[in-house]
Amino acid sequence: MRNRDGEDTAVILMDTQGAFDSQSTVKDCATIFALSTMISSLQIYNLSQNVQEDDLQHLQLFTEYGRLALENASAKPFQSLLFLVRDWSFPYEAEYGFQGGERLLERRLQVSEKQHLELQQLRKHIRSCFEQISCFLMPHPGLRVSTNPVFRGQISDIENEFQQQLRSFVPRLLDCNNLVLKRINGREITCRELVEYFRAYMTIFQGEDLPEPKSMLMATAEANNLAAVSTSKAHYVRRMEDVCGGDAPYMSSADLAAEHERCYKEAIKLFKATRKMGGAEFSEQFLERLDIDIEEQYESFIKVNNSKNLFKSMRTPAVLVTFMIVDYVLQEFFQLIGLDIIAGLFSAALCIAVVSLGIWAYSRYSGNLREVGVMVDDAVTWAWYNFLSSLTQESMHRAVAIGHRLTQNGTALHGRHSGDRRDNKKNS
């Protein structure tokens, strides 16, 4: 969906199992509610018929984990809470919908001096944990729904009053102007970052006991820094893909290193500029992790870039074919002068080169014998860097030197002939 700013927003609707049934323990209920509240921007607290005092007490138990975060940050730990009261039977006291829900909520969360101190603290605690609290009163869907064992959601069986309130509730909930983007530590997070929070929270909730608030705060700080690492790494990969990705042409090693340095600095700057929890010392280890991840990505880009170099990709067959040609010429030469033993050695080397080229081509074409193909590549690469590369460079230098000398001699000869013609003209 698009929010009011025109940005694409992913809306995740997550249903959880009910709380305090015959199959759930207090730990199960607290875990479910704490997890869903920590990862959601809007928590819908689904209650039956009314908002009772025990419902508020359960809510305090679930939100107790936000207390430590409140002590370390000015912002409230959770964003929005919506009490959805189903089967509301007192429309004469508070009408259906949001307006009646607000009146009911105001009465339930009102703090009075006549109340016991514990009840006052309960209501203050709930308001201190959420940035926004609202309530919606939903009528009963009808007896044909509640008493029909084979009800499958037919609209015709649902009471008109329920349908009318549903048409009021859902559009307001999903209206682009009312979408609440998930924020952690005061910063809106992306889907990629949300995955890191999922992983961190699931890890600390896997034990037998409920985690301490400090453990949850540290998990949030860790996930917060991991999300910053993921975002910065994605920025580096995206910028490098633009200049040397699969569709980009081959770049020289120097140009690739320069682009890597530029994108690396941008990623590090983005990580440091991102708001993070835990302090600078805590974030230092994640900065080192980002550095390692970027280096690994850079190695991958180097391999991709080298694969675009036609000579490097065809080095093995080119070297083997050149070797076979030279080997064949030397073999014929030694046979011609009568050195058959040496010619036989060159003939054996020629057979080895032909077999190696055949295996290499088969490995590249079929995907089989990959280990042997890699061994052929490694052998050719070793020979190239240790012998052939230096010989090729030396031959090129000599060829350039000879060409330069021929050019100078030609220029000098041309100058001498021109001088002779001028002398002949003067004498005549």
In tens, the pLDDT along 138-160 reads 898 888 778 878 777 788 888 88
Tokens matching residue 322: 């050149």
**Stronger pLDDT, 57 or 365, i.e. the higher one:** 57
pLDDT of residue 177 exceeding 70: yes
Work out the pLDDT band at 420, boundaries 50, 70, 90.
Answer: low
Both tokens of residue 145? 């729904």
Task: Determine the Cα–Cα distance for residues 306 and 300; give it in Å rounded to an integer.
Answer: 10
pLDDT digits (tens, 9 = 90+) for 360-386: 677 766 667 667 767 777 777 776 666
pLDDT of 9 reads 85
Q: What is the pLDDT of residue 70?
A: 44
- Residue 145: which of 171, 172, 127, 163 has the closest Cα? 163
CA distance 65 to 18: 20
Residue 359 has pLDDT above 50, yes or no: yes
Cβ-contact 41, 178 below 8 angstroms: no
Q: Is the dihedral of CA 302, 303, 307, 311 positive or negative?
A: positive
pLDDT class of 411 with cuts at 50, 70, 90: low
Backbone angles phi, psi at 137, to 5 degrees: -100, 120
Task: Using the predicted structure, report yes or no on whether residue 50 has a pLDDT greater than 50.
Answer: yes
The percentage of residues in the chain with a pLDDT greater than 70, rounded to a whole number, is 73
Q: What is the rounded radius of gyration, in angstroms, for the C-alpha atoms of the chain?
A: 38
Three-class DSSP labels, the chain = CECCCCCECCCCCCCCCCCCCCCCCHHHHHHHHHHHHHHCCEEEEEEECCCCHHHHHHHHHHHCCHHHHHHHCCCCCEEEEEEEEECCCCCCCCCCEHHHHHHHHHHHCCCCCCCCHHHHHHHHHHHHHEEEEEEEECCCCCHHHHCCCCCCCCHHHCCHHHHHHHHHHHHHHHCCCCCCCCEECCEECCHHHHHHHHHHHHHHCCCCCCCCHHHHHHHHHHHHHHHHHHHHHHHHHHHHHHHHCCCCCCCCHHHHHHHHHHHHHHHHHHHHHCCCCCHHHHHHHHHHHHHHHHHHHHHHHHHHHHHHCHHHHCHHHHHHHHHHHHHHHHHHHHHHCCCHHHHHHHHHHHHHHHHHHHHHHHHHHHCCCHHHHHHHHHHHHHHHHHHHHHHHHHHHHHHHHHHHHHHHHHHHHHHHHHHHHHHHHHHC
Would strands 130-137 and 78-86 be described as parallel, antiparallel, or unpaired? parallel
Full-model pTM: 0.55
Residue at 354: amino acid letter: V
Split at pLDDT 50, 70, 90, the class of 170 is: confident
Give the chain's mean pLDDT: 76
pLDDT exceeds cutoff 50 at 221: yes
Mean pLDDT, rounded, for 59-80? 63
For tokens 């009471």, the residue is 159
Which range (290-294, 345-349, 358-362) has the least confidence? 358-362
Nearest Cα neighbor of 126 from 83, 63, 175 is 63
**What is the tens place of the pLDDT at every residue in 301-321?**
888 877 766 555 666 777 777
**Selection from 215-224, 306-315, 345-354 with the highest mean pLDDT:** 345-354
Residue 64 phi/psi, 5° resolution? -60, -25
Query: In this predicted structure, what is the pLDDT of residue 398?
Result: 60
Is the pLDDT confidence value at 404 over 80? no
Calpha distance 45→204 (Å, rounded)? 24
As a CATH number, domain 221-309 is 1.20.58.420
For residue 201, give both structure tokens. Answer: 């929270």
Which band of pLDDT confidence, cut at 50, 70 and 90, is reported for residue 69? very low
CATH of 26-181, one of 3.40.190.290, 3.90.105.10, 3.30.1280.10, 3.40.50.300: 3.40.50.300
Q: Tell me, what's the pLDDT at 183?
A: 81
Tokens of 383: 């020979």
Task: Give yes or no for a contact between 223 and 200, defined as CB atoms under 8 angstroms apart.
Answer: yes
Which own/partner contact pairs does 405-413 have at CB distance under 8 Å and 24+ positions apart? Answer: none
Is the pLDDT confidence value at 114 over 70?
yes
Share of the chain above pLDDT 90, in %: 3
